[in-house]
Amino acid sequence: MGNNGNNSQRLNCPSCSNEILVNPVFTIRENTDDLHALIKGNLNKFSCTACKKDFLYDTPMVYRDDENHYVIYYHSSGINENVTEALGFMDEIYTEMFADLSESQKPVCRLTLRRKDLIEKIKLHQKGYDDRLVEYIKYQLFHHSKDLDSTHMDLLFDFGSSDDETLIFLAFDQTSGNIIYSLEFPVKEYSELRKNFLGSLKLENEFNKLFRGYYVQVDTLME
Ligand SMILES: [Zn+2]
């Protein structure tokens, strides 16, 4: 993943096939305009010089918070939806990217296959919530709410509405993208889960086994 600013490449406009020269962002760092653009849905959005239409260039990206040792790799959905292959690819990148670091210096790493999951994980990381517990909470919500159906709905953390006492989750219809429900989960219960699942290294290791390595998503828990 090269440095921003020197990544010129030619793309064909998806509407009119006109070739344009663009400068996509591959590495997103904390407190940058790139990060704001990602959250707003504008990152790597380009405008065709011929037909003037905007389009989103869906390329793999890496979010890096070096200070807090956290990395999220986005394996753009266009490439491959296969988690196993994406995990293998992720492993190669990770090994190369952090070859100079000792095991203990290496950052925590996550794999995401959708932009919305990348954004959700960045927000959780910024707010200090553990994404493993959040995915487990989603599992509980799916499990205990008869109106929720994980095969047709996505649950996403609502970072705009959540506060110090309540975590808010929104259930989206996967087909229409519309919000169907809003669900609350008390932060107090989150803290309980934290104690129960991450209270010791032994517990944490057991808890980690619920997920597929770098891929920490509720769908693994539903299987
Ligand atoms: Zn065009």
CA distance 36 to 102: 31
How much is the pLDDT for 1? 44
CA distance 106 to 98: 7
* Ligand 1 centroid from CA 18, angstroms: 5
How much is the pLDDT for 3? 47
Handedness of CA 82, 85, 91, 97 (dihedral sign): negative
Residue 213 pLDDT level (bands cut at 50, 70, 90)? very high
Reply yes or no on whether the pLDDT at 57 is more than 50.
yes
Residue 108, token pair as written in the block? 């925590």
Instruction: Determine contact, residues 60/112, Cβ cutoff 8 Å.
Output: no
pLDDT digits (tens, 9 = 90+) for 63-103: 999 999 999 999 886 555 688 888 988 899 889 989 999 88
Task: Please give the average per-residue pLDDT across 36-42, as a whole number.
Answer: 96
CA distance 219 to 51: 40
Q: pLDDT exceeding 70 applies to what percent of the chain?
A: 95
How much is the pLDDT for 33? 97
Task: Please give the average per-residue pLDDT across 22-45, as a whole number.
Answer: 96
How much is the pLDDT for 167? 97
CA distance 26 to 7: 8
Residue 2 pLDDT level (bands cut at 50, 70, 90)? very low
Smallest Cα–Cα separation from 61: which of 42, 95, 38?
A: 38
* Ligand 1 centroid from CA 12, angstroms: 8
* Ligand 1 centroid from CA 49, angstroms: 7
* Ligand 1 centroid from CA 21, angstroms: 12
Residue 63, token pair as written in the block? 């979010």
Higher pLDDT pick, 156 / 146: 156
* Ligand 1 centroid from CA 76, angstroms: 22
Distances in Å between the Cα of 74 and the Cα atoms of 31, 50, 53, 77, 154 are 18, 30, 25, 8, 18
CA distance 196 to 36: 35
Cβ neighbours of residue 130 closer than 8 Å, sequence gap 6 or more: 124, 194, 198
If you average pLDDT over every residue of the chain, what do you get?
Answer: 92
Please, which residues bridge with residue 172 across strands? 154, 179
Residue 21 pLDDT level (bands cut at 50, 70, 90)? very high
Reply yes or no on whether the pLDDT at 146 is more than 80.
yes
Distances in Å between the Cα of 212 and the Cα atoms of 84, 86, 111, 166 are 9, 11, 10, 28
How much is the pLDDT for 78? 59
Task: Please give the average per-residue pLDDT across 42-58, as a whole number.
Answer: 96
* Ligand 1 centroid from CA 30, angstroms: 32
Helix, strand, coil shares, percent, the chain, to 5:
35, 25, 40
Q: pLDDT exceeding 90 applies to what percent of the chain?
A: 79
φ/ψ of 22, rounded to 5, equals: -130, 165
Reply yes or no on whether the pLDDT at 36 is more than 50.
yes
User: Ligand 1 is a single-atom ion; what residues have CB below 5 A from it?
Assistant: 13, 15-16, 18, 48, 50-51
pLDDT digits (tens, 9 = 90+) for 129-145: 999 999 999 999 999 98
Task: Please give the average per-residue pLDDT across 176-205, as a whole number.
Answer: 96
